[in-house]
Amino acid sequence: MVTLLTEEHRRRLAPGESLARLPVPSMIVSNGEFTPPGQSLQLRRYEALMMNRSQAACRDGDSESNGARASWLASPIGMANAFAALNEVFDPHFDVGEGETEDADEAEALRASLQDQFVFDDQVHFLRDDADPDMFEPLTGLIELSAEILGLPHAGAFEIEQIKFAHFIKAIYLDSDTKVALLSGAPSEGVPMLTNDQMAAAREAVNSVVGERRLLTHAVLGPGKDGWLDEVDRAHEELKPDGWKGYTVGEPFSPSHKRYRLDDEALMYPAYERMAKAGVRNVCIHKGLLPADADEVMPGAEPFARVDDVGRAARDWPQLNFVIYHAGYRTIPQPTIAELERFEETGRIDWVSDLVAIPEQWGVSNVYADIGASFAFTVLTHPRLAAAMIGMLVKGLGPDKVLWGTDSVWYGSPQWQIEALRRLRMPEDLVERFGYQPLGSADSDLKRAILGENAAPLYGVDPADYRKAAVEGRHLDRIVAAYREAGGAPDNSVHGYAERGGGSGDA
């Protein structure tokens, strides 16, 4: 896996696959774009609570089965217990149904009750390239099963080349409630990132097998590279991307950083003109999420990671949608409590507050926020900050301008993030102090909008086409049913970088 992290930081990190396999991760993981913080005291307590809960749930007399514990942790009742445990270590920020933590049937029924909820994940990825094959050996049977059902190529022997795509399918479609996903990438030179053609091929492979539109894809922008506008034209003609993905900080995994601003008329406006003419309206831009040592690994990158170039570009190109990934959130690795304290004192979240001010400042209505890795980061460090970020985005951009993205599969299956938003409450004092909108129940209008209904019109998707009554008997529906009947379940693994060893000392 390529990374922006310094060698010093990488020596302190451990592979995400080595973390405890819990329904909700007990540490922040990074895909290499930002520095992961150490495990907080709260998440240490959560991990200990979940180990005790799983042991108690699966104890058979004086004996205990590791397989039974893993199955319990992978089940809806295990997920419910995870959020109950998080409520113990934080203030109660998550809704957990009465009896849901004790009755497996009730936990299953509550999840099943949301099966018609449309979930559109607008930022997913394949597994990291250097994932250790040994870490996945126990999953061989399930991966081979999913590959066989999907009709994907596979051999009798376990090979890491097979797991990349097969495990992606498993995590996104079989182990979560995601209905449609948007495959993303990053610009790169000389590193094994997915190319525009490979992303398009993956889209074709999934959609042709299941017979419906389940995987969409970006094409990646390379402003300033030789022939980059020719590539824009070629992609429109040959690949028909559903949107474009760009990094204004330049190629994050290459020494030849070609940085740019979205409002650079000479450089970017010719590309926007081509997009508008081709009818590809969605311009998705990575913002925020710089590593701790950005000045060392990407000197001069920070001004380009900010969002002060969005407003003018959005005003000048109203026919395009500017989707700001990660909501521009500027991660602060140590200590994470500082970000919450700053919000409590000032009402600001860097650089989310700058993003939500753009519609009023520039008189635009075509700026969107994908919450991406920022939601996973904040909901694990301090759920109150996650709720504040959602409230800020909804108030500033509008309830129809906040999009769901998980940056999976770095965090494993996106199901725990889906559950986190479904269960998350807006603290009453934030409603009173800032006028934030209550989040409502798991199936509230606002949560349905964020989880998928906001993205659907941007990509020409009708949520009604994915409800159970509409998909009953379709190929993917049969795939999921066969997989789960055969015992398929999430493995609760994650695949990024995590801080090695002890916590950060946050209280």
Structure tokens at 160: 């890491």
Least confident of 112-116, 320-324, 424-428: 112-116
Edge-to-edge strand ranges of the sheet holding 282-286: 120-124, 180-183, 215-220, 243-247, 282-286, 321-325, 367-370, 402-403
Rounded to whole angstroms, how far apart are CA atoms 9 and 16?
Answer: 15
Residues of 208-225 as b/e, b for ≥16 C-beta within 10 angstroms?
ebbebbbbbbbbbbbbee
Where residue 288 sits, what CATH number does that domain have? 3.20.20.140
Rounded to whole angstroms, how far apart are CA atoms 135 and 325?
Answer: 30
Task: Say if residues 357 and 396 touch (Cβ distance below 8 Å).
Answer: yes
Task: Say if residues 28 and 498 touch (Cβ distance below 8 Å).
Answer: yes
Taking only the tens place, the pLDDT of each residue in 405-426 is 998 887 889 999 999 999 999 9
Least confident of 96-105, 152-161, 276-285, 294-303: 152-161
Residue 373 confidence (pLDDT) above 80: yes
DSSP line for 262-321: TT-HHHHHHHHHHHHHHT--EEEEE-S---TTHHHHSTT-HHHHSSTTHHHHHHH-TTSE
Rounded to whole angstroms, how far apart are CA atoms 359 and 368?
Answer: 10
Structure tokens at 25: 């991760």
Q: What is the pLDDT of residue 372?
A: 86
Say what angle helices 196-210 and 475-485 make with each other, to 10 degrees: 80
Model confidence band, residue 130 (pLDDT cutoffs 50, 70, 90): very low
Helix (H, G, I), strand (E, B) or coil at 182: strand
Q: What's the whole-number mean pLDDT along residues 52-62?
A: 77
Residue 50 confidence (pLDDT) above 90: yes
Q: What is the pLDDT of residue 491?
A: 87
Preceding peptide of 335 cis, ω within 30°: yes
Q: Return the half-sphere exposure (C-beta side, CA atoms, 13 A cut-off) of residue 373.
A: 27
Task: Provide the β-strand partners of residue 185.
Answer: none
What domain count does the chain have?
A: 1
Q: What is the pLDDT of residue 2?
A: 44
Residue 177 belongs to what domain range?
1-507
Residue type present at position 338: A
Residue 180 CB partners (closer than 8 Å, separation 6+): 118, 119, 120, 121, 213, 214, 215, 216, 452, 459, 461, 466
Q: What is the pLDDT of residue 36?
A: 79
Q: What is the pLDDT of residue 150?
A: 42
Task: Say if residues 198 and 171 touch (Cβ distance below 8 Å).
Answer: no
Residue 185 confidence (pLDDT) above 70: yes
Q: What's the whole-number mean pLDDT along residues 60-74?
A: 73
Residue type present at position 21: R
Q: Which of 223, 221, 118, 215 is nearest to 172 (CA)?
A: 215
Q: What is the pLDDT of residue 162?
A: 40
Q: What's the whole-number mean pLDDT along residues 245-251?
A: 89
Rounded to whole angstroms, how far apart are CA atoms 93 and 425?
Answer: 5
Task: Say if residues 270 and 317 touch (Cβ distance below 8 Å).
Answer: no
Structure tokens at 396: 């500033």
Residue 248 CB partners (closer than 8 Å, separation 6+): 259, 260, 261, 262, 285, 286, 287, 304, 305, 309
Model confidence band, residue 48 (pLDDT cutoffs 50, 70, 90): very high
Q: Return the half-sphere exposure (C-beta side, CA atoms, 13 A cut-off) of residue 66.
A: 3
Which of 3-17, 136-150, 304-318, 474-488 ranks highest by mean pLDDT? 304-318
